[in-house]
Amino acid sequence: MPVRTIVSALRTHPEYSKAVAAVLKTPARKPVYKNPNPPLPEPVRLFLDQSGMRPYVHQTQVLEKTRQGQNVVLVTATASGKSLAFTLPVLERLCQDPAATALYLYPMKALAYDQLTFLENLERETAIVFKPAVYDGDTPRSRRSQIRRDSRLILTNPHALHHYLSWHKLWRRFFQNLRFIVVDEAHWYRGVFGAHIAYVLRRLLRILNYYGSHPRIVLASATMADPAEHGRNLTGRNFSVVDTDGSARSTKTYILWDAAAVDKPEQLQAADLFAACVRSGLQTICFAPSRKLAELTAKWAGQKVRGIASYRAGYLPDERRELERQLKDGEIRGVASTNALELGVDIGGLDAAIVSGWPGTVASFRQRVGRAGRAGQDALAVQVFFSNPLDGYLLKNPELIFRAPSEQAVIALDNPEILKAHLKCAAEELPLTAQDERHFGPHYVNTVRALIKEKGVILDTHGWRPGQETHIAKRYVCVGKNVSFRVSLSAFEGAEMRLLYGGKPLETLSFSKACREAHPGAVFLHRGDPYEVKEFHPDRGTVTVERASGELHTQAQVHTAIHPKHVLKTKKLPGIILNVGKAAVSQKTRGYLVKKYDEVVGRRELDNMPSASLNTVAVWFQLQKIPLVGDLEGGLHAAEHALIAVAPLVAMCDRWDVGGVSMARDHDGMPAVYVYDGFPGGAGIAELLFRRFQEWTEKALDLVRECKCKDGCPRCILSPKCGNGNEPLSKAGALRVLEFVVPGRMDVGA
Strand ranges for 19-124 from DSSP E: 20-26, 72-75, 101-105
pLDDT tens readout for residues 458-507: 877 677 878 754 433 332 233 335 788 878 786 544 457 888 999 988 87
Task: Please write down the long-range contacts of 223-227, taking CB distance under 8 Å and 24 or more positions apart.
Answer: 223/75, 223/76, 223/77, 223/362, 223/363, 223/366, 223/405, 223/406, 224/75, 224/187, 224/363, 224/405, 224/406, 224/407, 224/408, 224/409, 224/652, 225/405, 225/406, 225/407, 225/408, 226/408, 227/73, 227/75
pLDDT (0 to 100) of residue 585: 94
Give residue 522's identity as a one-letter amino acid code: A
pLDDT (0 to 100) of residue 597: 64
Q: Are 265 and 238 in the same domain?
A: no
Number of domains in the chain: 5
Domain-embedded: residue 231: yes
CB atoms inside a 10 Å sphere around CB 690: 23
Quick one: DSSP state of residue 630?
A: S
What CATH number is given to the structural domain containing 391?
Answer: 3.40.50.300
Q: Are 144 and 129 in the same domain?
A: yes
Domain-embedded: residue 5: no
CA torsion through residues 261, 265, 267, 268, sign: negative
Alpha helices in 215-290 (DSSP H): 227-235, 266-279
Q: Are 532 and 609 in the same domain?
A: no
Q: Are 456 and 561 in the same domain?
A: no
Domain-embedded: residue 748: no
Q: Are 87 and 162 in the same domain?
A: yes
Nearest to 682 by CA among 516, 490, 492: 492
Give residue 43's identity as a one-letter amino acid code: P
Domain-embedded: residue 746: no
Strand ranges for 453-575 from DSSP E: 457-459, 464-466, 496-501, 504-510, 523-526, 529-537, 542-547, 552-573
> What are the backbone angles phi and psi of residue 689, rounded to the nearest 5°?
-65, -35
Domain-embedded: residue 694: yes
Domain boundary among 194, 223, 242: 242
pLDDT (0 to 100) of residue 471: 34
Q: Are 296 and 420 in the same domain?
A: no
Q: Are 288 and 202 in the same domain?
A: no
Angle between helices 693-706 and 389-396 (to 10 degrees): 90
C-alpha 346/C-alpha 331 separation (Å) is: 15
Q: Are 392 and 429 in the same domain?
A: no
pLDDT (0 to 100) of residue 739: 93
pLDDT (0 to 100) of residue 477: 30
Q: Are 534 and 592 in the same domain?
A: no
179: helix, coil or strand? Answer: strand
Q: Are 297 and 446 in the same domain?
A: no
Quick one: DSSP state of residue 677?
A: E
CB atoms inside a 10 Å sphere around CB 272: 18
pLDDT (0 to 100) of residue 680: 81
Which bin fits 148, alpha (ψ -120 to 50), beta or left (φ > 0)? alpha
Angle between helices 82-96 and 42-51 (to 10 degrees): 150
CB atoms inside a 10 Å sphere around CB 617: 25
pLDDT (0 to 100) of residue 380: 96
**Burial (0-12, 13-18, 19+ Cβ within 10 Å), 630:** exposed
Domain-embedded: residue 9: no
385 strand-pairing partners: 258
Q: Are 522 and 572 in the same domain?
A: no
Q: Is the pTM of this model over 0.85?
A: no
C-alpha 533/C-alpha 548 separation (Å) is: 9
According to DSSP, the β-strands at 284-287 and 334-337 are parallel
Spans in the chain with pLDDT lower than 70 = 1, 313-317, 342-346, 348, 404-407, 461, 468-481, 490-495, 526-529, 597-598, 628, 723, 744-750
pLDDT (0 to 100) of residue 473: 30
Domain residues for 438? 416-486
C-alpha 368/C-alpha 468 separation (Å) is: 48
pLDDT (0 to 100) of residue 478: 33
Give residue 583's identity as a one-letter amino acid code: A
Give how far the C-alpha of residue 732 lies from the chain's centroid of Cα atoms, to the nearest Å. Answer: 34
Domain boundary among 402, 428, 457: 402
Domain boundary among 380, 402, 424: 402
Domain-embedded: residue 522: yes
C-alpha 654/C-alpha 683 separation (Å) is: 12
Nearest to 556 by CA among 509, 603, 614: 603
pLDDT tens readout for residues 513-552: 888 889 999 988 765 568 899 999 988 999 999 998 877 8
**Burial (0-12, 13-18, 19+ Cβ within 10 Å), 604:** middle
CA distances from 581 to 130, 415, 569 (A): 50, 12, 7
C-alpha 628/C-alpha 537 separation (Å) is: 48
C-alpha 588/C-alpha 560 separation (Å) is: 7
Q: Are 57 and 155 in the same domain?
A: yes
DSSP string, 430-451: S-B-GGGHHHH-TTHHHHHHHH
Domain-embedded: residue 407: no
C-alpha 263/C-alpha 269 separation (Å) is: 10
